[in-house]
Structure 1
Amino acid sequence: MAPLPPSTDPIDALLSAHGLRRTAAARQVLGWLLAHPDTSYTHAQLQVALADDTDAALDRVTLYRLIDRLTQVGLLLCRVDSQRVRRYQAMPTSVHAIPHFECQSCHRDSPLAGALKANANDLEKAAQTALETLAALGYQGMSMDFAVRGVCVDCATGTAAPEVAAGPAA
């Protein structure tokens, strides 16, 4: 069987560069998450979003396997919140740490990159230094997750929380 020709599609290129097959399902999942970089999804939320987005729905097991493979090669960031719910988000190759706030009450997961804009370079440098130090010690396949946990403003003040793309913990 002849090897596939090089692809100009950036999603295909990412999959190939990370040693993954360029299947329609892999392109669909990675494409969706890359198109929504500031949102983390549970498995169930991602399955619903993908079903709404296309005619061909992925079965639950295929989606689990794809998420697992994409996470193992560093294309996805997997976070486990305080309720032990796994949330997945695209991991840009240029980013070494994705800061986020997790509300202990409503379990919303909010990116903090905008809020920390003035200090984002310092955070990125600190993450890069930590990863380089660990790599020098022999650690491999690392990513960094900066999670701040507490109670969001909406829960603290008792105001109704606006609907967010990440939705409730599933």
Structure 2
Amino acid sequence: MATALSLTLVDPIDALLSAHGLRRTGAARRVLGWLLAHPDTSYTHAQLQSALQNDPVAEGQGECGSALDRVTLYRLIDRLTQVGLLLCRVDVHRVRRYQAMPASVHALPHFECQSCHRDQPLQGALQGNALDLEVAAQNALQALKILGYQGLSLDLAVRGVCADCATAAQTDHNAP
């Protein structure tokens, strides 16, 4: 009975990788697992590499616990993005940021601070308008599909200065 039960339990990360035609390597499981565990955070390549190296859960897990070299991580991120498991954003400084792409979401609104360069999700802040945004995103994507475009996703970036930086700038301005 235990054997039958263990055969029916499928790791969700392995299932995602297989469903998208990707190999279920330790590195792929580790990267996708990390990003899925931190869905509201987007990472640059360097930030993701650092986060994975400092992950205490991955220590001592054989292939999953070994350090990923930057080229392997670049290639893996690229494959995950190509199949739609990751969202890649390019900010105003042409820095690429990656985040897990929920299958049910067509638009991930976010705010990019031009002072501290933090990238913050806006779904919570837009609460009442989130459904309107989702409908608008679906309409835009459908119109583009009709025109023959494929592999579409929509990125809504609001850029400016976050409240923390604006407050700090105001405090600095008012200081004697």
TM-score strictly above 0.5: yes
Counterparts in 2 of 1:106 and 1:113: CA distance versus 1, 3 Å: same
Counterpart check, 1:24 vs 2:34: no
Match for residue 67 of structure 1?
A: 77
The farther-off stretch of 104-113 and 7-16 is 7-16
Q: Which has the higher helix share?
A: 2
Rg larger for: 2
Matching residue within 122, 125, 148 for 1:138: 148
Q: In the alignment, is residue 110 of structure 1 matched against residue 149 of structure 2?
A: no
Paired letter, 1:35: A
Shift of 1:106: 1.1
C-alpha spacing 1:92/1:32, structure 2 compared with 1 (3 Å): same
Deviations 1:52-100 (A, max 9, x none): 1123111111100000000111110011111111110000000000000
Task: Name stretches of at least 5 consecutive residues in structure 2 with no aligned partner.
Answer: 1-6, 60-65, 170-176
Contact 1:103 1:109 in 2 (8 A): yes
* Counterpart residue type for residue 47 of structure 2: Q
Is 1:119 aligned to residue 147 of structure 2?
Answer: no
The total of aligned residue pairs comes to 156
Aligned to 1:52: 54
Runs of 4+ residues deviating >6 angstroms: none
Q: Is the 8 A contact 1:7 1:13 kept in 2?
A: no
Q: Secondary structure at the match of 1:158?
A: helix
Q: Specify the alignment match of 1:33 in structure 2.
A: 35
- Report the CA distance between 1:7 and its aligned residue: 7.0
Please name the residue that 1:97 is paired with.
107
Mean Cα displacement is larger for which, 53-62 or 35-44?
Answer: 53-62
- Against the structure 1 CA distance between its residues 6 and 58, is the aligned structure 2 distance closer, same or farther, given a 3 Å change threshold? farther
The one-letter amino acid of 2:34's match is W
Indicate the larger mover: 5-14 or 145-154.
5-14
Cα deviation per residue 1:5-37 (whole Å; 9 max; x = unaligned)?
Answer: 997111111111111111111010000000000
Q: What displacement does 1:155 show? A: 1.5
